């Protein structure tokens, strides 16, 4: 079982049975299929400054009978776009995109630290802000009007600048102080909740292998762009492996 994840699973205990890989970039899903996994889980993915995961990579996996689950972040986006082709969407965020509640990519976007320090989130995803404020409204911490004001102000911020300190600066004074005390014990990390649901489903083998019926709505086309990309991705892996081997020889 292969899972691509980073900031959405910080602090989560990953079972040994899962081959955890960094957030996916273009080519990674295709390359994962070469290891014949069952299934592939897509949670986090790169998109800014790095080519994002292609839909066609996921279609390639599905066409070859490999279940692909998506949740939380890039996975939720791709699942909402490809569930009609057999990709399995998991969690509240996926459902929000599927049902048109969420439309913008920035709902799940955030800045995070590099792999060396565990992909720690450096900003807050808009979906987490929404679910947290929803909880505050239900609990009577803020009014509906106050909550709506906070959401509007947060949405207007660049996604990399979204953090509670910045958001509360624009909150009504009467709610900002209350939220500041309430947040540490009550903040909702919906992205992590959905990521854990996906991991648990994979561990239970609660997946639907794409059948002939599931994938009959599309024929995988070997376009020129695809056929040019595949050897490039494969070559990059070979070069990386050779570089690693040379490094090991040098250490000896």
In sequence order, what are the residues at sequence separation of 6 or more whose Cβ sits closer than 8 angstroms to the Cβ of residue 200? none
Q: In this predicted structure, what is the pLDDT of residue 172? A: 85
Percent of the chain with pLDDT over 70: 91
For residue 102, how many C-alpha atoms fall within 13 Å in the half-sphere facing its CB?
27
State how far the Cα of 249 lies from the Cα of 123, in Å rounded to an integer. Answer: 40
State how far the Cα of 58 lies from the Cα of 74, in Å rounded to an integer. Answer: 12
Q: In this predicted structure, what is the pLDDT of residue 202? A: 95
Which among 189, 124, 188, 133 has a CA at the least distance from the CA of 161? 124
In sequence order, what are the residues at sequence separation of 6 or more whose Cβ sits closer than 8 angstroms to the Cβ of residue 109? 47, 48, 125, 126, 159, 160
Q: In this predicted structure, what is the pLDDT of residue 71? A: 98
Q: In this predicted structure, what is the pLDDT of residue 251? A: 37
Per-domain boundaries in the chain: 2-102+195-233, 115-190
Q: What one-character DSSP code corresponds to residue 70?
A: E
Query: β-pairing, 2-4 with 68-71?
Result: unpaired
Cα–Cα distances (Å) from 99 to 8, 34, 82, 168, in that order, read: 22, 33, 13, 29
Neighbours of 84 (CB within 10 A): 10
Please determine, for residue 180, whether its predicted confidence score (pLDDT) is greater than 70: yes
Report pLDDT digits (tens) over 123-142.
Answer: 999 999 999 999 999 999 99
Find out whether 59 and 218 touch, Cβ atoms under 8 Å.
yes
Which among 51, 42, 30 has a CA at the least distance from the CA of 74? 42
Report pLDDT digits (tens) over 8-17.
Answer: 999 999 999 9
Find out whether 90 and 197 touch, Cβ atoms under 8 Å.
yes
∠ Cα 203 207 212 (to 5°)? 150
Q: In this predicted structure, what is the pLDDT of residue 94? A: 97
Diameter over CA atoms, the chain: 66
Report pLDDT digits (tens) over 61-82.
Answer: 999 989 999 999 999 999 999 9
Report pLDDT digits (tens) over 27-55.
Answer: 999 999 999 998 999 999 998 888 999 99
Report pLDDT digits (tens) over 80-110.
Answer: 999 989 899 999 999 999 999 999 999 999 9
Asked if residue 135 has a cis previous peptide bond (ω within 30° of 0), the answer is no
Q: In this predicted structure, what is the pLDDT of residue 161? A: 95
């Amino acid at each position: 079982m292969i899972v691509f994840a980073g900031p959405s699973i910080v602090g989560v205990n990953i079972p040994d049975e899962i081959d955890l890989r960094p957030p996916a970039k273009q080519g990674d899903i295709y390359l994962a299929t070469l290891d014949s996994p069952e299934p592939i889980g897509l949670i986090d993915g790169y998109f800014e400054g790095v080519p994002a995961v292609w839909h066609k990579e996921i279609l390639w996996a599905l066409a070859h009978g490999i279940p692909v689950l998506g949740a939380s972040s890039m996975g939720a986006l791709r699942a909402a776009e490809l569930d009609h082709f057999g990709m399995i969407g998991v969690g509240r965020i996926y459902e929000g995109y599927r049902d048109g509640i969420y439309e913008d990519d920035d709902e799940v976007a955030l800045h995070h630290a590099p792999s060396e320090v565990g992909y720690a989130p450096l900003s807050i995803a808009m979906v987490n802000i929404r679910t947290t404020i929803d909880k505050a409204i239900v609990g009577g911490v803020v009014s509906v009007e106050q909550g709506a004001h906070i959401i509007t102000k947060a949405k207007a911020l660049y996604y990399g600048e979204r953090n509670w300190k910045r958001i509360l600066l624009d909150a009504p004074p009467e709610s900002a102080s209350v939220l500041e005390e309430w947040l540490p014990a009550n903040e909702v990390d919906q992205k992590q909740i959905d990521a854990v649901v996906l991991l648990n489903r994979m561990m239970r083998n609660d997946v639907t292998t794409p059948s002939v019926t599931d994938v009959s709505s599309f024929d995988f086309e070997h376009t020129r762009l695809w056929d040019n990309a595949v050897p490039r991705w494969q070559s990059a892996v070979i070069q990386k492996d050779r570089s690693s081997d040379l490094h090991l020889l040098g250490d000896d």
